[in-house]
Amino acid sequence: MDPLLKVRQAHKNGLIPDKIHDLIINRFGVTVAGIDRIEKASGINFPLAYVEPSIVTSKPNPSSFDYGILFARTIPVITGNKLEIIIQITAPLVAYGLKGTIHAILAHEFLHYLELIRRISKMEIVSDEISSNLFESIYSDSTRLFEPRAVFTDKTLLLHITKKFPEGFRDYKLEDKVLKFWIAKKLPTINIALDTNIIKIPADVFANTKIDPILLQKLEQIEQKASRLRKKKLY
């Protein structure tokens, strides 16, 4: 799969201008470097990922002033009666994000991927929980991820994650750029309601989904390390 295929198609169809298209293509190397860095720091392969030629925004309801920009998402997809997990990276993040920001967001989504694999392997998930409130969603997001220190050995990467995700991701400079150079110019935008950001997974899909035993072994090691870190923090 060409991770930039949808970007090239959007450009061909006139949805993305030449200048923005070239910027995404030229800066995609920062994203690739981030994926390589995450794999090296965790010893685990990054899942399938692609660049979505849109920005994803969310509002709890049409009358609310609460507003969020989602720069990347971890999406379970059912294909051929099997479950696959894909990382969706938005084009504005690739185009305007600083290196540390891009790598932190990729690492955060990677933690989502690992947690989903863990829950699937233990049959702990039939459908992902939902929240129509952005604050509640941020809290839920932070409480169901692996401790980053149990996953990554890269201290600089850990620092990026800690700085960018203390209580939900915020990067005001990046958000301003996206509002000015993407949304204000009427470039492709996907609006979603948080309470529709859900997938229901039938039991037979679980049965047909095979998880790499080496990955499961790695997850077990991460769980043990996370447990030790929690105990050390408590005592």
Q: How many domains does the chain have?
A: 1
Q: Decide which of 13 and 196 is more confident.
A: 13
In a domain, residue 234? The reply is no
In a domain, residue 164? The reply is yes
The two structure tokens encoding residue 34: 């981030």
The phi, psi pair for 100, rounded to 5°, reads: -60, -40
Spacing of C-alpha 61 from chain mean position: 23
Say what the pLDDT of residue 194 is: 60
In a domain, residue 235? The reply is no
Nearest to 102 by CA among 161, 25, 21, 183: 161
Helices (H) and strands (E) in the chain, counts: 10, 6
Q: Decide which of 207 and 233 is more confident.
A: 207
In terms of DSSP bridges, do strands 68-70 and 55-58 run parallel, antiparallel, or are they unpaired? antiparallel
In a domain, residue 232? The reply is no
Instruction: Average the pLDDT over 105-131 and give the result.
Output: 76
Q: Structural domain of residue 35, as residue ranges?
A: 5-226
Say what the pLDDT of residue 81 is: 80
DSSP class of 196: G
Nearest to 218 by CA among 150, 123, 142: 150
pLDDT of 60-101, one tens digit each? 555 544 558 889 988 888 887 888 889 999 999 999 999 999
pLDDT of 158-173, one tens digit each? 988 877 665 556 788 9
pLDDT of 131-149, one tens digit each? 334 333 433 455 467 889 9
Whether 183 contacts 69, CB under 8 Å: no
The two structure tokens encoding residue 81: 């009666």
The span from the CA of 219 to the CA of 116, in Å, is 11
In a domain, residue 187? The reply is yes
The span from the CA of 39 to the CA of 44, in Å, is 5
In a domain, residue 76? The reply is yes
For the beta sheet containing 55-58, the strands, ordered from the edge strand earlier in sequence to the opposite edge, are 68-70, 55-58, 189-192
